Structure 1
Amino acid sequence: MLRTTRRSRRTAGLALLAGATLAVSGCGGLMSDGRTAATYGDTTVTTAQVQDAVKDVSRVAPQTGFDGQSAAIFLALRPKLNELAARYDLGVSRDQAEKALQPVADPSNAGIDAVQSNLTFGTLRDNPRSQTALATLVRSADIKLNPRYGRWSKGGPVEAGKLNNWLKQSSDS
C-alpha cells in the first residue's frame, strides 16, 4: 500500500510539474511549437517573420528600439489595419513600405509588412476621421503573443515596448 502511495505521489508530482512547465512557457495551442510568435483572427505570425522584420527595421532605424514584441504586434494587426485604412481611403502601399526600407538591399516580406503596418497605424492615428476606429480596434484586438514577446491585453501590450509609430513616413510618399 505504501508503495502505491509513493508511486501515485510521484506520478501526480510529475503531472503537476509538466502542467506548470507548460503554463510558464506559454505552451498550448499554436504557441506550443515555439515557431508561432503571435496570432490574431486568421493571422499567424511566425518567430522567423518577427526576426526578419526586426533585422530589416534595425538596419534602417537602429535608434528606434524596434523589438520582437513590436514586430509581432504590427504583423498580427496588419490585415485589420489595412482594412481600416481602406475604409478611410488612407492606405499605405507595400511599395511605400519597401521604399522606407530602401537602405536594406533585399528586405524580407516580413520587414515590408511590418513597416506597412506601422505606417498605416501612424496614418490612422494622425487622421481625426479614423482615430476612434483605430482606438476601437486596439481596445478590442485579442492578440495571442508567445510569451517570448511579452503579453497583450485588449488595449495594448502589457510588458516591454509600446505600440507606437516607430518609423516616420517620408514627406514624398
Structure 2
Amino acid sequence: MKLLILDRDGVINLDSDAYIKTLDEWIPIPSSIAAIARLSRAGWTVAVATNQSGIARGYYGLATLEAMHDRLRELVAEQGGEVGLIVYCPHGPDDGCDCRKPKAGLLEQIAAHYATSLAGVWFVGDSSSDLQAALAVGCQPVLVKTGKGPRTLTKALPPGTLVFDDLAAVAAHLL
C-alpha cells in the first residue's frame, strides 16, 4: 500500500490562528486539492490526521467539522480522486489525551485502520507537533512551507526532515 498522511490546516487548507470555525472559513489551497487528487488517481491512499481543539474550546461542533471534511472529499472527487481515512483529535491541549499531536494516537489510528506499518510512511505537516508525531511512529517527517511552515522553519527540525514548498511539490516528488 502506498500511504501518505497529511495534516489538514496549513497543508490542505489555509490556516488561521483564530481557528477555522465555519465551513466558509475552511478555504482550500487549490494546488493541495489537485495534489491529493493526482496522488489518489496514481494509486496512493491519502489519509488525514488533524488536531481540532476548537471542538473542545466550543468554537464549533462535530457537524461543522464533518461538513468541512465532506467539502474536502467533494473537491477531491471532482478531480477524480478520493480522500482516505480522516482522523481528528477533538481535545484541548490540557485534556491529557493520547491523540493530540505531537502524541502518536491519530497516526496509530490510521495504521490500525489500514492494518499497516507506518515505518517510512511520509507524514506531511506544517508544525513542529506534526514532525514530532511522525517521528514517534517511525514516519518520514515532511514539512511544507505553507500554513505555519515558515514559522516552523525558524526552529530546529528533527534530523531527516524533508522540506517542500507545498503539497503540490510533495506530490510531484512522489509521482
TM-score normalized by the length of structure 1: 0.30
TM-score normalized by the length of structure 2: 0.30
